Chains A and B, each alone.
Chain A
Amino acid sequence: MESLVGWLDANLISILNGVARGLLLFTMAVGLSLIFGLADVLNLAHGAVFLLGAYMAFQFAGDGTGFVVAVLAAVVLGVLLGGGLTAALRPISGRGHLDQALLTLGIAFVLSDIASIVWGNDFRSVPPPAFLRGSTNIVGHAYPTYRLAVIVVGLAIAGAVYALFERTQLGAVVRAAVEDRAMVSALGINVGRVLVAVFAIGSALAAFGGVIGGPVLAVNPGLDWEVLILALIVVVIGGLGSIKGAFAGALLIGQVQSLGVALVPQLAAFLLFGAMAVVLLVRPEGLFGDVTA
């Protein structure tokens, strides 16, 4: 018992940090998952949207009000990019996954290069809002206050997304369309419009994730691929098209990256893919994947 308390005390910060990272990842992965589930598109530009959100933070977030401006700018940008992506994908709808993936990959490269031209290749650090700077004492351990705020905001986002897709009519339509687009369309619902909405919401969430992630991550033109790969892993682990899956997958990956690395630092580079391999071996459809989805 005592050893358990000791263990918890030693690893409390790692666990807490895993939650913060996981929730941050969730804002990114949930959009990717829903877009894939509904539109059948693997949106490889999703990471670039996150990156642009992070650059909005770098651009505007000098102080508290700046942070609000950055969030607004990122959300607007995300909605626009989401709409633009749906428009770009429309002409090749039905041409198969590979064509769509290639198109979004191309768009990702373009967005990434634009970011590189505008903001350079340097690592940019984003200061947290003034009132969230410094650290908070958690049972004798210092933990950055801003990351606590990330946990709070992340939980709120997760709750809002859950409510939106599980408790509203739009959510019901989206879930139905994930199951069977043709049937929903036959009921007289404009699936195309639902698609735009999901793309816009998903991209806005990614851009928002970029803003709140800005002060935690080093913002640079390679960040988009790093987070995209993490989000893909989350989606695979969680099961596609599932909000619960994205949530569970993101929290799991957060812990792997934080607690896992703290416990076996020698395996830091391997743990992530190791975790994915284990989940796929045990449950190929993902934690919350539906076999008939």
Chain B
Amino acid sequence: MDQRKGISRRLFLQRATTIGAAAAVPGLLAACGSGVEEGAAPTATGGTTPAGTPTGAATTPAATASVTETATETGTESPTAAAGEPLKIGLLIPTGGVYASLGEDMRNGFQLYLDQHDGALGGRPVEVVEEDSEANPEVGLRKAQKLLNEDRVAMVTGIVSSAVALGVRDLFHEAQVPLIISNAGANDITRAAKSPYIFRTSFSNWQSTYSLGQWAYDNVAQEGMYVIAPDYAAGAEDIAAFRESFEAAGGTVLTGGLPPFGTTQDYQPFLSEIGNAGAQAVFAFFAGGEAITFVQQYRDFGLKDTLPLIGPGFLTDEGVLEAQGDAALGLRTSLHYTPLLDNPTNSAYVEAYEAAYGEQPTVYTVQSYDAAQLIDLALGELGGDTADVDALVDAMANIGALDSPRGPFEMDPVTHNPIQNFYLREVQEVDGGLGNAVLEDLGPFPDPG
């Protein structure tokens, strides 16, 4: 009897662990938790959902019009799309996990612009519908479908992760609903997979990294550059763009590591490899929680004193600097924003943001602030009317320059990606805290498309 009991117990434990192992696949457990509420939410994973997803609209029962027209007509918009009516905007951001702080920043930046404009964009009072993407492409797609089909939002903004952006691209393109990405840098979104309905107020991964290559060759190292980034869409693109520019400048990249995204607690094996590989400098792309862990461990394993560490400025943005502390001091990175930029728009912005949220703004807050600005100006040109989606996206594409805290900002009418300057920054002690001081303006870097 004992023996039987023992065996059944063991069997159970093994099964339970198998279930646990399956749950270890990122986000699955959490997805179960929230998926239950979603109930019948479809989980299309292919990324290509049938066209006209939001045509469930009962407003056009005389469905004789062509598919395109139907989609445009309903466009998830209520029949009265005129000025004065509330404008529903979806905000798709992660609220947990390594990118939680990025999502929060994006919400704050968008809200700040709303608060400064009486809660209205283009003359329409705005109602924001927030959904948690969990920085996971499958979840992101499901939540985007929910925003379009159930909430019937007029447009969506947000999106931190490149993988999520790529996952929802077809949905927005085929539904013809404007998507204003305020972070995710996936290159294809403004290149091969660009869509008349998708815009970016942030950056392309190529942009944020290519800007660093020549400078790194001139100032950091000519060879032996170790490259490391998390193993997902953005990590691979960042490494590729850095290689491209660094090698074009004449440098040679040593080798690299791709730690699993979102689940790596300990970078020690990679840090030891950096030491063993005889690297002369390290290029790293990390953001959010991963940036904190990596920068701290880089110091703890004694690399900070011997090997320069550079990367896109997400590595030391203001949201992670405090937690990184001394470990970040002196690191040099490149980005299209720092709160220490000296221009009047930025000074006013920093002051307003600090007054509203009691902390420094970050690049993510600015990108979402500018997304709100883009919507506001484009919609303003149309008198708040969202009925004609093509006119709306046309207005966005030709909006020209925005008065952005980041300095020069021009919407590229072809790629829908901003043409903007990149700044070489260094983490320094500023007013008793840490800040990213500008060392050099690297100039404008338009994405080649």
> A residues near B, CB below 8 A?
10-11, 13-14, 17, 21, 36, 40, 42, 97, 101, 109, 116, 120-125, 127, 135, 141-144, 146, 179-180, 216-218, 220-222, 225-226, 228-229, 232-233, 235-236, 240, 257-259, 261-262, 265, 268-269, 273, 276, 280, 284-286, 289-293
Contact = CB atoms under 8 A, between A and B. Distances in A.
A145 to B, nearest CB: 9
A271 to B, nearest CB: 10
Contacts of A109: 33
B269 A262 contact: yes
A19 to B, nearest CB: 12
Interface of B: 2-3, 6, 9-10, 12-14, 16-17, 20-21, 23-24, 29-30, 33, 95-98, 100-101, 104, 231, 257-260, 263-266, 268-270, 272-273, 275-276, 288-289, 292-293, 296-297, 300-303, 323-325
B97 A13 contact: no
18 contacts: A14-B268, A14-B272, A101-B16, A121-B95, A123-B292, A123-B293, A142-B301, A144-B301, A180-B2, A220-B96, A222-B30, A225-B23, A232-B17, A235-B13, A261-B270, A262-B268, A276-B17, A292-B6
B369 to A, nearest CB: 21
A226 B98 CA distance: 14
A116 B96 contact: yes
A286 B30 CA distance: 29
B20 A123 contact: no
A240 B13 contact: yes
Given A218-B292, A236-B17, A285-B10, A265 B257 contact: yes
Given A222-B96, A228-B20, A36 B301 contact: no
Contacts of B6: 290-293
A269 B232 CA distance: 13
A123 B263 CA distance: 12
A116 to B, nearest CB: 7
Given A125-B296, A228-B20, A236 B14 contact: yes
Contact of A123 (B100, B260, B276, B325): B100
A14 B276 CA distance: 11
B260 A268 contact: yes
Contact of A233 (B17, B260, B266, B289): B17
B302 A229 contact: no
A122 B265 CA distance: 15
B269 A14 contact: yes
B266 A21 contact: yes
Contacts of B9: 36, 40, 97, 240
A262 B276 CA distance: 10
B272 A222 contact: no
B272 A11 contact: yes
Given A121-B97, A218-B265, A261-B269, A229 B289 contact: no
Contact of B2 (A221, A240, A292): A292
8 smallest beta-carbon distances between A and B, as pairs: A142-B302, A123-B289, A262-B269, A261-B269, A144-B300, A121-B100, A121-B96, A269-B260
Contacts of B297: 144
A225 B288 CA distance: 20
Nearest to A12: B272
B5 to A, nearest CB: 8
Nearest to B291: A123
Given A36-B13, A123-B289, A258 B101 contact: no
A287 to B, nearest CB: 13
A230 B199 CA distance: 42
Given A121-B95, A262-B269, A292-B2, A143 B301 contact: yes
